[in-house]
Structure 1
Amino acid sequence: MRFTLRRALAVGAMLTVLGVVTPAVAAYSQDDPRSCNDLMGADTPAYVVCHWLAKPEEALGVAMFWLSDDGANLKGASPSDGQFIDCSAPGSSCPALEGEEIGGDENSPYPEGAEDGGAPECEAGQQCSVDGTGEGGDGTPRRSELSGSATPSASPTTTTATQNFTTSAQDVTAAAQTPAGQAVTAAKAAGVRVWLDTELADDWKAGAEGFAAAVKRIGALAARPEVAGIRFTSQLGYNTTFKTDEEVTAFVTAASAALRQAAPGKRLGAHTVVPELACGAEEACKTEMRKRYPLVVPEKVESLLSAGRVDQLSLDTGLLYGGYETWKINAEKAQRNQWIQVRARSWDVLAQVAAEETGLVGQVTPEQVATRASTPVMDGAAQQVNLWTRVQDAQGTVKRLTAWDELKKLNPIKRRLAAVYNPTTPEVDVAADLKKIAENFSQVYLTTA
């Protein structure tokens, strides 16, 4: 269906939409002549349905109508007459236009003091926002976005707007001489695109001074053209760094605003785990996962994407290989559930979605490589897969990526494969390691302090 959809979109016709509905609607859709549920897997949850807006043959007819006779119908089409409101008519209500007088009566939608197109001044102790974007004009979040309190947060974000995170040419030159900078140079020589993989959460919690220093350091590294983006946090909301939703939102807001200033034009990424997604339609499983991991329920993660502060979301697959046995959900089903959920929520519209895979280190089978490295991409849920080249467990045991030959077989999706590599722990040396990585991957996430 995906290939048919792509062809149809080329001539401007949408064929299908995937939505989330109630089980009752799903049952009804089985008799719907416009249902395309037969194109989905047998284990697809009941509340995920497929419905043709225009069947392939219908879409072809639509396209031919507009394209036939050298587009005569399209050329002859005229704009709709539309519907207009006479603002002078009794009972009509129209928005004020620029230059018009704004009334200040009690029924006016404008705040008191906004006459003549101006904005009211903040009273002492207030924090005002008038640009209507969900942020203040200086990039700081509104109070309502951080908490329900009328008192501004005492977190480090209160100083972000007044700090200068820009880097100088001298900073960029100096950063290029550091081990991390030399790793970026080696990656460029190997022909792979670079993401910087760092953690700013601890710096942010430590205070404004340390946070600013960390942002400038990573900004100086990212200023080079070969750096595509910065992943500024891992396990966001899943680990114990943050205790509340307000902390998570405040940190992401501050980090995004600072990095947009320090490294303009670079994409920003975050890594996390959303355990509930692997539950599929199992309600008891979803309830338990929400109780265990309240900061990473799907709607809270989605809110960060909707705000535009993250350009790429990496979803870890580590939990998919255990932890769901109580509900008889094995690893394969957990993985399929997760990516069906991601696809149904259309997160790829809000940000690029990547699958983070740590389970291919050590001895693995060809089947495991093929499934874990390609399924999220082939299913159309993730745009890329990030594979770790080295994993050290809590006991200090190190496992390394060994499936290099198997990965070569995935050359058709090489552009969608990225390696997560720490240049401070090379296997041979950084240049040699990156040259080997370039054989199977088109991108590399360089772990930096």
Structure 2
Amino acid sequence: MRRRLRQVLIIGLTLSLLGIGVPAWSEDDDRSCNDLMAADTPAYVVCTWLAKPEEAKEIAEFWLGNDGENLMGAEPLPPITIDCDAPGNSCPDDSVGDGEAHDVGSPDVPGAEDGGTPECQNGEQCYIDPQAITAAEKAAAQETPAGRAAQAVAQTSMRVWIDAELADDYKAGQLTEAAKKIAALAATQPGVVGVRFTSQLGFNQNFTTAEELDKFVAEAATALRALMPGKKLAAHTVMPVFACGTNDTCKTEMTKKYPLLDPERVGTWLNKGYIDQLALDGGLLANGYATWKIDATEAQRNQWIQVRARAWDAYAQIAAEDASMAAGAGSAQLTEEQTTKAISERVAATLQDDAAETVTLWSRWQNDQGQVSRLYGEKWATSATWEQLKKLGSIKPRLATVYDPASPEVDVATDLKNLSEVFGQVYLYAA
């Protein structure tokens, strides 16, 4: 087993050496591979060979030659150790504890006996009251449509998020009460991953100033984290300027039209830890940039280049969201060929761009006129789109959908069972 682990480690290292990395800061650098990128690639996206082709060949021959003799004989590097007793060495002693051995089950902190609150060393908040949400509040949450649906999801393989909108409650001065209801809902089912507390953030919620928007995000995140420690927080928004790429006219117009959706502001939310998952909607990518002759493929490519360049995935999970594959009432379902093309462009390409880790596809939604759009046929009748999606089993954990248990297609149990054939995650809408 140890030999096999060493082989895996060396193979992984070898493959990484054969890859391409960033950055290469000079066009004169003989390790630059910028010539392999498209001519319209932004200047801040650069490329350098970790191992040039001829070097990669030598590396591969070294490890794989003579039936892999060097690979089979590889040993892990010796650990780096420090002798604290050796002359000239100083090892700090900043370990936590009182230096005394304690019996198993005995309290570690004075004041924790018999369920008491531990004393904090510096007066900071270091303890969250588990009774902040009462048993009665949890019981009431379980009886809501979303609460019952969360229990039903346990019969499937899907992970669960609670999907809510706290912006209206915040503007009405009722954030505390609303956050408590949502937190109680998240606590009704142990398998709930977390809460998506807002959608189209900064796009259509009528926030008038950037300061008001920042305050909402900060206060909503703080309230929810205090009520449900350990659960994740998610938000959904749009980044209109990203799809412009290097088109300055487009960027100017999009910034003017959507002044609150400043990438630097969103990056700050991620950096401060307010959001664990950020979903970027693709609704504008289809035809929102035709004025500047940017088609859907280029717009999507531009968006993910911008996301990668900002390293947002270092702070949060990034998701893509798309509702366009669902066929509207009175319109024809996509054919098998059209579905394959749509999956390639809106799912596969998005994941391959390596900026989004998951893709959320709206499987059913209703417009203001009451017309319903679906990925599947009415009452779960078969459709080419749904049958093609069921073939994506290898990436099912990366696919998510949104479901409103108060408006089922057939019934909650049937709907969730069918959705679990395609999706690995579900956002349960809580009104």
User: Shorter-chain TM-score: which interval?
Assistant: 0.7 to 0.9
Q: Is the 8 A contact 2:17 2:50 kept in 1?
A: no
Give the stretch that moved more between structures: 223-232 or 37-46. Answer: 37-46
Alignment check: 8 A CA contact 2:234 2:278 kept: yes
Distance verdict in 2 for CA 1:175–1:240, change over 3 Å: closer
Taking the TM superposition and a 5 Å limit, the aligned residue runs for 1:180-195 are: 180-195=146-161
Residues 343-365 of structure 1: per-residue CA shift (max 9 Å, x gap)? 22211111000001111110332
Q: Does 1:398 align with 2:372?
A: yes
- Once the two structures are TM-superposed, the CA of residue 328 in structure 1 deviates from its matched residue by 0.5
Do the aligned partners of residues 18 and 274 (structure 1) sit closer, same or farther apart at CA in structure 2, a change above 3 Å counting? farther
Counterpart in the other structure of 1:206: 172
Please state how far the C-alpha of 1:55 moved relative to its aligned partner: 5.4
CA contact (8 A) 1:353 1:381 kept: yes
1:93 paired residue number: none
Q: Distance in 1 between matches of 2:232 and 2:14?
A: 27
Structure 1 residue 37 displacement after superposition: 3.2
- Residue number in structure 2 paired with 1:244: 209
Give the letter aligned to residue 181 of structure 2: R
Please state how far the C-alpha of 1:177 moved relative to its aligned partner. Answer: 2.2
Distance 2:32 2:51 in 1: 11
Q: Tell me the secondary structure at the aligned position of residue 155 of structure 2.
A: helix
Is 1:448 aligned to 2:422, yes or no?
no
Of 377, 399, 402 in structure 2, the residue corresponding to residue 420 of structure 1 is 402
Structure 1 gaps, min length 5: 80-130, 140-162
CA distance in 1, matches of 2:147, 2:387: 30
1:337 and 2:319 aligned? no
Secondary structure at the residue paired with 1:439? coil
Amino acid across the alignment from 1:35: S
* Aligned equivalents of 1:76, 1:371: Cα separation in 2: 47
| Match of residue 222, structure 1, among 169, 177, 186 | 186
Sort the Cα spacing of 1:302 and 1:230 in 2 relative to 1 into closer, same or farther, 3 A: same
Counterpart CA distance in 1 for 2:166 and 2:158 is 24
Is 2:321 aligned against 1:356? yes
Q: Secondary structure at the match of 1:281?
A: coil
1:109-148 alignment runs, 5 A limit:
none
Return closer, same or farther for 1:350/1:412 CA change in 2, 3 Å cut-off: same
> Judging changes above 3 Å, is the alpha-carbon distance between structure 1 residues 39 and 386 closer, same or farther for their aligned structure 2 residues?
farther
User: Residue type of the partner of 2:246?
Assistant: A
Whole-Å Cα distance in 1 between the matches of residues 388 and 243 of structure 2? 27
The one-letter code of the counterpart of 2:204 is N
How far off is 1:306 after superposition?
0.6
Q: Match of 2:284, SS? A: helix
| Residue 368 of structure 1: aligned partner | 342
Q: Is the 8 Å Cα contact of residues 48 and 344 (structure 1) preserved in structure 2?
A: yes
| Residues 370-379 or 38-47, more deviating | 38-47
Distance 2:11 2:42 in 1: 28
Name the SS for the 1:419 alignment partner: strand
1:258 to 206, 210, 223: 223
CA distance in 1, matches of 2:205, 2:401: 26
Equivalent in 67, 70, 84 of residue 75 of structure 2: 70
Report what 1:382 is aligned to: 356
Once the two structures are superposed, what CA deviation does each residue of 1:33-66 show, in whole Å capped at 9, x if it has no partner? Answer: 21233554565334422224555857969x989x
Residue 109 of structure 1: aligned partner: none
SS at match of 2:132: coil
Question: When the two structures are superposed, what TM-score results if normalisation uses the length of structure 2?
Answer: 0.74
Q: Deviations over 1:305-327 (max 9, x none)?
A: 01111000000000001221111
Distance in 1 separating the partners of 2:59 and 2:223: 48
Q: Give 1:147-186 correspondences, 5 Å limit.
A: 166-186=132-152
Residue by residue over 1:229-282, the C-alpha shift from the partner in whole angstroms, topping out at 9 and shown as x without a partner, is: 110001111124311111111111111111111111111000000101101111
Partner of 1:33: 30
Q: Aligned letter for 1:329?
A: I
CA distance in 2, matches of 1:440, 1:9: 34
Note the C-alpha offset of 1:15.
6.2
Superposition map of 1:43-58 within 5 A: 44-53=41-50, 57=55
Amino acid at match of 2:133: T
Q: Which residue of 2 aligns with 1:298?
A: 263
Q: Paired residue for 1:270, among 217, 229, 235?
A: 235
Letter in 2 for 1:268: L
More deviation, 251-260/164-173:
164-173
Structure 1 residues 212 and 243 mapped into 2: Cα distance closer, same or farther (>3 Å)? same
Cα distance 1:405–1:369, how it changes in 2: closer, same or farther (>3 A)?
same
